[in-house]
Structure 1
Amino acid sequence: MSGRPRVVLVEDDTTVAAVVAQYLRADDYDVVVHTDGAAAAEALRTGLPDVLVVDRMLPGVSGDELCALVRARSDIPVLMLTARGSVEERIEGLETGADDYLTKPFAMRELQLRVRALLRRRLPSDSSAVFTTGPFRVDPVRRRVWSDGREVVLTAREYDLLVHFARRAGEAVTRDDLLREVWGWTFGDAATVTVHVRRLREKIEPDPRFPRYLRTVWGAGYRFVPEGDVRAVD
């Protein structure tokens, strides 16, 4: 990324939008604010930011629709804001393709940290060499993945998850480990991990119902098996 990272904030509550924008600008982000979902959709069709922060419950064009619009074109990080705090509501938001969420009311410091973590994971890792694990070829600099020569289009979070699993192949990795090491959270909802693992399986498994590479370890978490495993789980 060159210059200041660009954040598009879509929030119809003008007071909340003003405060959030102020805190993000204090972190040296170039912040563009939209208070209308339709206007935001038009702007996103012509140019994408480094991070999208979007209220889920927008009138007209919803946050879910904006997330889907972005996901059809890009893997940029999406942070969803929601006033609905139930696990089901959060899972629905993640299912649209969001990488992270915050439930209102939230601490502005937490918002800053979440955006910072999403941007940090967009940077190339210290280990930049292309590597192969099982049928997967991973290019850390370009953040691209191929399976048996076919490119697999992943979101930023899905890519981070796959690389983390690949670097710990054969190990049982707990959901708490993933929240801490992939999301950068010291605490959080394990359902977040479950949703993203399911989405990742849909893209890398021949049959997501019977995972061969990304297996469930009952009572522990998950294990990545590069050579494949045909035993049925879940």
Structure 2
Amino acid sequence: MRPHLALIEDDPDFALMCRTYLERAGFTVMWAIDARAGKAAMYEGGIDLVVLDLGLPDGSGLELLRALRSTSRLPVIVVSGRGGEADRVAGLEIGADDYLVKPFSQRELVARIRAVLRRSQPPDVPVVLEVGALRVDTAAHQAAVAGIPLTLRPKEYALLELLARSPGRVFSAEQLLEQIWGASWQQPATVVEHVYRLRGKLSGLPTPAPRITTVRGFGYRLDP
């Protein structure tokens, strides 16, 4: 799934530039223009990381960070025109995970975000998903039915793993595009093609296998 960011920034032009670049880089972005809206965004839930400007029109970004750190370890990257050592030290000591001084390149911002997200994630725990005779090893990125390995392309495997994580749940084409391809602008025909190929590989096995069911008007689900 695409990481969900909260961008708390009072400069509309700068915020639009950041948001556009970050979304193209594979993130979803919620923009808040001041401390009040930023606080609501941070505590809304579903946010993976906050990009926080310090100079907000209705309060200090540092105070917002201090309040957040009293209850949460949500990753925060401070972005600010205040590049002095005292400012950087204050932000990091209060609890920022990184501090980026304006102006900076959007590529650097993306790299810093990805680095902080990697550090904040717990170590991967290998998970084996079982749906009927299907066994999906998420650590090895391999799938088998009744011990018979499936030869899958990367997106076919990603599709099968996603469906196997929630058997019986219906996923729309738009949800599958967003979560697997990271881009809802792709054509739904992309999903149809991959479902068709994956169905062929499951049905071509010499043993009964789970099936991908089309729920007309809604999407697809995996049935044991």
Q: Quote how far apart the aligned CAs of 1:73 are.
A: 2.1
2:110 paired residue number: 112
Q: Quote how far apart the aligned CAs of 1:44 are.
A: 2.5
Q: Which amino acid aligns with 1:121?
A: R
Question: How does the TM-score come out when normalised to structure 1?
Answer: 0.50
CA-to-aligned-CA distance 1:48-76 (integer Å, 9 cap, x gap) = 51000000111212211221232122212
For structure 2, the residue ranges without an aligned partner over 5 or more in a row are 127-224
2:54 paired residue number: 56
Measure, in 1, the Cα distance between the counterparts of 2:56 and 2:104: 18
- Secondary structure, in 3 states, of the residue corresponding to 1:111? helix
2:12 paired residue number: 14
Q: Which amino acid aligns with 1:81?
A: V
1:99 paired residue number: 97
CA-to-aligned-CA distance 1:148-192 (integer Å, 9 cap, x gap) = xxxxxxxxxxxxxxxxxxxxxxxxxxxxxxxxxxxxxxxxxxxxx
2:32 paired residue number: 34
Q: Which amino acid aligns with 1:99?
A: D
- Secondary structure, in 3 states, of the residue corresponding to 1:46? coil
1:88 paired residue number: 86
Equivalent residue in structure 2 for 1:67, among 54, 65, 68: 65
- Contact 2:9 2:34 survives alignment (8 Å): yes
- Contact 1:10 1:35 survives alignment (8 Å): yes
Q: Quote how far apart the aligned CAs of 1:127 are.
A: 8.4
Measure, in 2, the Cα distance between the counterparts of 1:79 and 1:27: 17
Q: Which amino acid aligns with 2:64?
A: L
What is the percentage of aligned positions where both structures have the same residue? 42
Aligned positions, number: 126
- Secondary structure, in 3 states, of the residue corresponding to 2:95? coil
Q: Which amino acid aligns with 1:22?
A: T
| RMSD, matched Cα | 1.8
Q: Quote how far apart the aligned CAs of 1:39 are.
A: 1.4
Measure, in 2, the Cα distance between the counterparts of 1:123 and 1:45: 19
For structure 1, the residue ranges without an aligned partner over 5 or more in a row are 129-234
CA-to-aligned-CA distance 1:8-33 (integer Å, 9 cap, x gap) = 00000001100111111111111000
Q: How does 1:174-193 map to 2 (within 5 A)?
A: none
- Secondary structure, in 3 states, of the residue corresponding to 2:56? coil
Higher alpha-carbon deviation: 48-57 or 98-107:
48-57
Question: How does the TM-score come out when normalised to structure 2?
Answer: 0.53
Measure, in 2, the Cα distance between the counterparts of 1:21 and 1:86: 26
- Contact 1:52 1:77 survives alignment (8 Å): yes
- Secondary structure, in 3 states, of the residue corresponding to 1:64? helix
Higher Rg: 2
Measure, in 1, the Cα distance between the counterparts of 2:67 and 2:58: 14
Q: Are the structure 2 counterparts of residues 43 and 126 from structure 1 closer, same or farther at C-alpha, using a change threshold of 3 Å?
A: closer
Measure, in 2, the Cα distance between the counterparts of 1:101 and 1:48: 23
- Secondary structure, in 3 states, of the residue corresponding to 2:120? coil
